[in-house]
Amino acid sequence: MTGTTEPFGARLRRAMDERGPLCVGIDPHASLLAEWGLDDDVAGLERFSRTVVEAVAGRVAVLKPQSAFFERFGSRGVAVLEKSVEEARAAGALVVMDAKRGDIGSTMAAYAESFLRADAPLFSDALTVSPYLGYGSLKPAVDLARESGAGLFVLALTSNPEGGEVQHAVRADGRSVGATMLAHLAAENAGETPLGSFGAVVGATLGDLSSYDLDVNGPLLAPGIGAQGATPADLPAVFGAAVRNVVPNVSRGVLRHGPDVTALRNAADRFADEVRTAVAAA
């Protein structure tokens, strides 16, 4: 498993144009394993993950494993995650590791090395990170991502209700914390073509975001499509002119169709087509 010298933003733009702008989550939580008739153990985890990768890794732009659902099984669960990442990337999907890491100094550097170092067992095309120890705390991850051709998705405007107490807080300069994170990302991506590699996580369920400048010249990972209530048709109203750079994430809306591989593929194809239609009409 290796890194790449081509920047993540360029690879993501191409994947979105060729495969459609859709990210499918790999979220093997206990209730989904049960729905699939699988045991809540490492064998069930492996069967679930392999099936999702087999079904959609060759057709969607992005797969996003949630590392917590693998880590809860200890080292054997992490081994399944390593294999899933390897197989997904081999099938042509870009992998965004949803680990939401955030710390300072050497600890942040170690988190970055776990997922962004080119020869790391868990090397992923991008990593979700939390900037709420200050955006500058992410510098080790930013630097290593640039070196490895990887990217970051920074939590900016999340859809969980609790997020507002931090993200909507207003700084002394009158700008909200969330808007500040978006401004930092725009600076990271300045001058990059066709798309910068440093994106934001912005919930698709948040409604009108016209008061925020979402044009960061980078991707916007948008959870909330499907089970959380948002639809592909909602995307233009939420993201406005930035909608072409949105990577909508669907998890349960696709995963609930398993373990049948054909049903999983059909669900992913349906969401991808709906997103394409919505973006084209914007």
Q: Which of 124, 81, 34 is nearest to 111 (CA)?
A: 124
Report how far apart, in Å, the C-alpha atoms of 152 and of each of 64, 209, 213 are: 13, 22, 19
Is the Cβ–Cβ distance between 84 and 49 less than 8 Å?
Answer: yes
Torsion of CA 281, 208, 226, 51, to 10 degrees: 80
Q: Which of 64, 83, 100, 139 is catalytic?
A: 100
For this structure, is 139 an active site residue?
A: no
Instruction: Calculate ∠ Cα 91-53-245, nearest 5°.
Output: 70
Cα–Cα distance measured from residue 218 to residue 136, given in angstroms and rounded to the nearest whole number: 18
Residues in the chain: 282
Q: Which residue has the tokens 């500058």?
A: 136
Cα–Cα distance measured from residue 259 to residue 253, given in angstroms and rounded to the nearest whole number: 13
3-state secondary structure of 249: strand
3-state secondary structure of 241: helix
Cα diameter, the chain: 54
**Helix extents (H) in the chain:** 8-19, 30-35, 42-56, 68-71, 75-90, 105-116, 139-148, 164-167, 177-188, 235-239, 252-255, 261-281
* Cis ω before 194 (30° cut-off from 0): yes
Looking at the annotation, which residues are catalytic?
A: 100
